[in-house]
Copies of this chain bind each other. A is one copy, B any other.
Amino acid sequence: MIAVLKPSVPLRDKAQLVALLEARGYRVHLDRTDGREWVGVLGDDVRGLEAELAAHPAVDSVRRLETPYALASRAFRPEASVVRVGTVELGGPEVVVMAGPCAVESEEQVFATARAVAAAGARILRGGAFKPRTSPYSFQGLGPDGLALLAAAGREANLAVVTEVVAPEDVALVAEHADLLQVGARNMQNFRLLEAVGAAHKPVLLKRGLVATLEELLLAAEYVLAAGNPDVILCERGIRTFGRETRNTLDLAAVPLLKQKSHLPVIADPSHGTGVRALVPALSKAALAAGADGLIIEVHPDPATALSDGPQSLTFAGFAALMDELRPLASALGRQLTPPTGSRA
């Protein structure tokens, strides 16, 4: 529930209102939109408060939320949020491409990839150091060493860095090295992890779970927001359906629907969304046309030897060609995509 305050309410009255609500077990969020101060009141049974709030001397009007999430909703914040990752802005006019290997495998691999994707116009380097793997016997990532390599490669290529964090106890370490903390699809409802990244001082890339509804995704984002971190980017990465001809089914209706329901930036992952290299270009274009604020794409120097996700990884040449195809499309959609380095020089 949102209580819009009267103009010029004395601070004491506001403090009294907040204290009253918190004493009853509600979470309270103070904010200002278009010059008007308002109080968001969050809790399971908030509807019972409506009459009392409306009658409070500090309150001008009361508005119910139609959704179980609040901070993530457009009703709470009608304008689109822009999230800064290093020096890159997501949710603004630029379409931001994140690219890199599924997993950091070696210094040579990650530095070469960073240079190649930067040259083609990517702004953020992706790469896994802690890999959640279905089998305990599969390569689990290089861990802290992988983090350090990724961060170094990003610095050299002038790219911000995104990597996955898989447990609350790793958040501090990952936040030291990464500009953007990824919560993977399998952890979308690992609520302890959501609270931990919510307490971190880095933005969060939250991937939709394999079988999560959009409401569940937005409630997962709400965990992060409610823990105090306002910088969440949502990611559609494919859902699991009966289909067997692609690894997942990229649900592109999620892109405009999330942007209608929420003010948060939304990107798409055509690599996991299809699992098939030859489909990544078409789905990258489709995601932009659907309104995505960015893409996250797997690129590897030699996909055939990749330790994970080789079949869905683009080569350097394939990635550069895709970026060249995306630029006129971005323009036709009224957005910009970073030009390749050569043409920038």
Cβ–Cβ < 8 Å partners of A189 in chain B:
132, 134, 186
Q: How far is the CB of A326 from chain B (nearest CB, A)?
A: 10
* A271–B84 CA distance with the chains assembled, in angstroms: 35
Within A190-225, which residues are at the interface with B (CB < 8 Å)? Answer: 190-192, 210-211, 213-216, 219, 222-223
Closest beta carbon of chain B to A174's beta carbon, Å: 13
Contact B241 A249 (CB under 8 A): yes
Known: A213-B244, A257-B245. A222 touches B192 (CB 8 A): no
Judging by beta carbons under 8 Å apart, are B136 and A223 in contact? Answer: yes
Q: Which residues of B contact A257 (CB under 8 A)?
A: 245-246, 276, 279
A340 within 8 A of B: no
Segment 128-142 of A: residues with Cβ below 8 Å from B: 132-139
Given known A-B contacts A133-B191, A222-B135, A222-B136, A243 and B252 have beta carbons under 8 A apart: no
Does A177 belong to the interface (CB within 8 Å)? no
Closest B-chain residue to A133, C-beta based? Answer: B191
For window 224-257 of A, CB contacts with B under 8 Å fall at: 226-227, 239-246, 249-253, 255-257
Judge if A162 is at the interface, Cβ distance under 8 Å. no
User: Which chain A residues (286-342) contact chain B, with CB distance < 8 Å?
Assistant: 286-291, 328-329, 331-333
How many interface residues does A have (CB within 8 Å)? 72
A283 within 8 Å of B (CB atoms): yes
Pair A68/B282 contact, Cβ less than 8 Å: no
Nearest Cβ in chain B — how far from A72, in angstroms? 10
Chain B neighbourhood of A286, CB < 8 A: 252, 286-287, 289-290
Residues of B within 8 A of A78 (CB): none
Q: Mark A16-57, 1 if CB is under 8 A from B, else 0.
A: 000000000001000000000000001110100000000000
B-binding residues in A (CB < 8 A): 27, 42-44, 46, 68-69, 132-139, 166-169, 186-187, 189-192, 210-211, 213-216, 219, 222-223, 226-227, 239-246, 249-253, 255-257, 260, 273-274, 276, 278-279, 282-283, 285-291, 328-329, 331-333
- Given A167-B168, A190-B190, list of 10 further CB < 8 A pairs? A69-B135, A134-B219, A136-B223, A166-B192, A213-B243, A213-B244, A249-B251, A253-B276, A253-B279, A260-B278
